[in-house]
Amino acid sequence: MKSKAKKAVLITFVTVSSATVAQPPYQYQSPEVWAAWAQGYKGQGTQINVIDTFSVSAGCELVYGQCHGSWTNTLAKNTAPSATVNLYQQSNSVVGITPNTLNIFNLSYGLYSPIARSAQDSAFVSYAQTGKAIVVKSAGNDYGLAVGDATRTPAFAGKVDVLATSLAGQPSAILAGALSKNGTPSSPASMANYSQVAGASPVVQSNFLVVGVTESAGLPRGTSFAAPIVAGYAAILGSKFTSASATAVTNQLLNTARTDTVVGYNPATYGRGEASITRALAPASIR
């Protein structure tokens, strides 16, 4: 999906009351999410900005009859129901940072060489480099290729996702891959067969996380839908550690990932491992 050179449009502004959300209607979330809600951590006081396509007139990709952005929006809200969720049409115009708030950006799209980064995408890379916001980027759906490999997707064959490679290793960026399910030590998960993996680069491995995206009837699959779950985890974490920086929250998610809930853990496949919101919330404070 290419960035389009036009003015960014704020599609909608949604604050979801925690009182209106019980168990999520979709089956992607780990039970750890519900445990976090029970402790009172639902993303309150944080902001998730979903950058995507939301209307047929804007050329959105339809997934099970809904625009791609409708799914990413839903998954972010279902994971962190008390976060403020802003929806921005993918474009060339810079989306700014809200002061005194944990800002999280969800990017469930690729930008393939030799296309240059737009002003919007360059701003996201800058936020991740400087730790001004958490930037969660989908790893890509190229059937086991590593992040940074040339894609086999016909429309972009031989090209590299330069947005993913630009974010790799940045202090407050996370690259999100997909597992076939939510793993446990007694029933570990494998990578989803469509998901890209971290690969041999230690730089990519350093900020690569995986979460379960269980496929079932009427529900989409793809790393596009792993990313908003990770963004929701960041919001949940921010609702406990209210003074923590974007980099501190990012590091907490990365450093508490589990390697015992995936089959044959290897950093070249799973990066840091499966995100665990329970482990991330466990300490009294983070730095």
> Any bridge partners for residue 67, and if so which?
62
HSE-up (13 A, CA, CB side) for residue 244: 28
Map out the domains of the chain with their CATH numbers: 10-281 (3.40.50.200)
| pLDDT score at 26 | 53
**Buried-exposed string 6-26: b where 16+ CB fall within 10 A, e elsewhere:** eebeebeeeebebeebeebeb
| pLDDT score at 173 | 98
Mean pLDDT value of segment 126-155: 93
User: What gap in Å lies between CA 103 and CA 106, rounded to an integer?
Assistant: 10
DSSP 8-state code for residue 117: P
pLDDT, one tens digit per residue, over 41-51 is 999 999 999 99
Checking if the pLDDT of 115 tops 90, the result is no
Mean pLDDT value of segment 20-41: 73
pLDDT, one tens digit per residue, over 67-105 is 999 999 999 999 999 999 999 998 889 999 999 999 999
Mean pLDDT value of segment 217-235: 90
| pLDDT score at 195 | 96
φ, ψ for residue 167, nearest 5 deg: -85, -20
Q: Which two tokens stand for residue 113?
A: 């060489």
- Residue of 258, 227, 94, 214 lying closest to 164 (CA atoms): 227
pTM value is 0.90
Res. 225 pLDDT band, cuts 50 70 90: very high
Q: How many CB atoms are located within 10 Å of the residue 85 CB?
A: 28
How far separated are the first and last CA of the chain, in Å rounded? 36
| pLDDT score at 2 | 36
Most confident of 11-20, 106-115, 178-187: 178-187
φ, ψ for residue 249, nearest 5 deg: -65, -45
| pLDDT score at 23 | 38
pLDDT, one tens digit per residue, over 144-172 is 899 999 988 887 888 999 999 999 999 99
Res. 62 pLDDT band, cuts 50 70 90: confident
Res. 20 pLDDT band, cuts 50 70 90: very low
- Residue of 280, 284, 285, 271 lying closest to 251 (CA atoms): 280
